[in-house]
Structure 1
Amino acid sequence: MDAVEKKDSDEAIKDIIIPILSSFGIELVDLEYKKSGPKWFLRVFIDKKDGVSLDDCEKASKHISQVLDVEDIIPHTYILEVSSPGLDRPLKKIEDYQREKGKLVRINTFGPINNQKIFIGRILDIESGNVKIEEERLGKMEIPLSNIAKARLEIEF
């Protein structure tokens, strides 16, 4: 499966999964469909306002599995895993950054800013397509969403 096929496949899976999750008040945080050794895995990461329970994961898994079996859009036998995104959840959408204001984040950028590509700081705001953070060494700065390759919450102890 090449990169274009994978992207199309991921989008088709999301188009099926999102309405199922929404009907239970659950949000799709992330989706991974990849091969590990000889097996394919479909990992679905979910969340909701008050956090997800084991029952939420079981209910989502049951309904997703039933619909995907009927739609039959996945060309391989796969193992479905549904879970919460964890404490170090990825931030992908504007709403993710807004919800997590004040929290510590690690941002990897596509291109360098001030000669670096990894930033750790507190989320201050998001506006005009920029994430504003208080970076540990550089102070207040803005990072364009379009330059963010990956962003995750940092676990604080």
Structure 2
Amino acid sequence: MADKSALIAMLKPAVEAAGMEFWGLELMVSQRHALLRVFIEHEDGVTVDDCARVSHQISGVLDVEDPISTEYRLEVSSPGWDRPLFTEDQFARFVGGKIKFKTILPVQGRRNFTGTLEAVQDGTITLALDAETRVNISLSQIDKAHVVPDVQAELSKKR
């Protein structure tokens, strides 16, 4: 079975050929089947038709390359308001916003962090946990991260 970096290298061109930005992917594997979740983005937003078009494009690549050795389900979606963060550039887009993440191993005795993202530089983020407490964590130590949306701010943008 292909690893995530091989899947990204394989699928990113197909997403971009469909006129979308490749945001990231998650691969969850159990004994019987796998779930491949691909996130796409576009400056004008992502529609159901966009997801269907990209899903068709990706399915063609997966059928030819056959990188997943078990039965799998493909999901294509926008990253949403509480979007996962995969790359340093994505973290940088949300400096000043609130994020939540889990580390691979404990850092300062804990694995779960929530706070305001203050800086991203050279593969390290600075997170303000409160008014006095800051923590610097390497992106390589982060297992999963996502934006904590400010729902009120998002709703006021829609008006």
TM category, shorter: 0.7 to 0.9
Match 1:134 to one of 128, 133, 146: 128
Does 1:29 find its partner at 2:24?
A: yes
Deviation at 1:60, TM superposition (A): 0.3
What residue identity is the alignment partner of 1:42?
L
Q: Which runs of 5+ in 1 are unaligned?
A: none
Distance (Å, rounded) in 1 between the aligned partners of 2:74 and 2:102:
28
Structure 2 unmatched runs, 5+: 152-159
2:75 counterpart of 1:81: yes
Q: Which residue of 1 aligns with 2:150?
A: 156
Q: SS state of the match for residue 102, structure 2?
A: strand
Which of 89, 95, 100 aligns to 1:95? It is: 89
Q: Which residue, 114, 117, 120 being the options, matches 1:120?
A: 114
Distance 1:35 1:45, change over 3 A: farther
SS of 1:97 mapped into structure 2: helix
Question: Counterpart in 2 of 1:52?
Answer: 46
- Residues paired across the two proteins, number: 150
SS in 1 for 2:118: strand
RMSD: 2.4
1:67-107 Cα shifts (integer Å, max 9, x gaps): 22223333233322111222222212100111111211112
Residue 138 (structure 1) shift? 5.0
TM-score w.r.t. the length of structure 2 is 0.78
Change (3 A) 1:79 1:119: closer
Runs of 4+ with >4 A deviation: none
The one-letter code matched in structure 2 to 1:26 is E
Contact 1:29 1:47 in 2 (8 A): no
